[in-house]
Amino acid sequence: MTGITVALLVGMLFATGAYLLLLREPIKLILGLTLLSYGINVLLFGASTLSRGEPPIILDKEAFNGDISQFVDPLPQALILTAIVISFGVTAFLVVLVNRRNMLLGENSPTGQPEDPVIANDPFAATELYAGGLHEAPDDFEWLEDQIP
């Protein structure tokens, strides 16, 4: 019963995170990636076993005759801790990236009105503002430069 609950929770977190990623709005993108990282953490936690038994500290290893199958594996907990740190770093980077994009667009102005709303090849822009025809000149990489028109 617990395995089905964890599987449903992981599936719901992954589905909601993927849906928010597909909406292409900066805040929803950050929330979607956060939900995906939560789903990965729950998946790793659900893959491990949580059992009550002997502590994993053995004072005399040579004289120990007990069953080591009752010990808890520390690897999933270490993986979850690593995933939490990585997801925090990625979230902080995305927040800074969205803030920089808003500064370039002028959306951080006190009036709330963008000063210059057009950035060439902005992935968050509407499709009519996205420049097409980039495949026509494969040697021209000027579209990669950060330019404000």
Domain ranges of the chain: 2-50+72-134
pLDDT tens-digit series, residues 8-23: 999 999 999 999 999 9
Transcribe the chain into DSSP letters: -HHHHHHHHHHHHHHHHHHHHHT--HHHHHHHHHHHHHHHHHHHHHHS-----S-S--S-STT--S-GGGSPPSHHHHHHHHHHHHHHHHHHHHHHHHHHHHHHHTTTSTTS--S----TT-TTS-GGGS---TTS-TT--GGGS----
* pLDDT score, position 147: 59
Fold classified for 2-50+72-134: Helix Hairpins (1.10.287)
pLDDT tens-digit series, residues 63-112: 878 777 667 777 888 889 999 999 999 999 999 998 888 887 777 655 55
Weakest-pLDDT range from 24-33, 63-72, 117-126, 132-141: 132-141
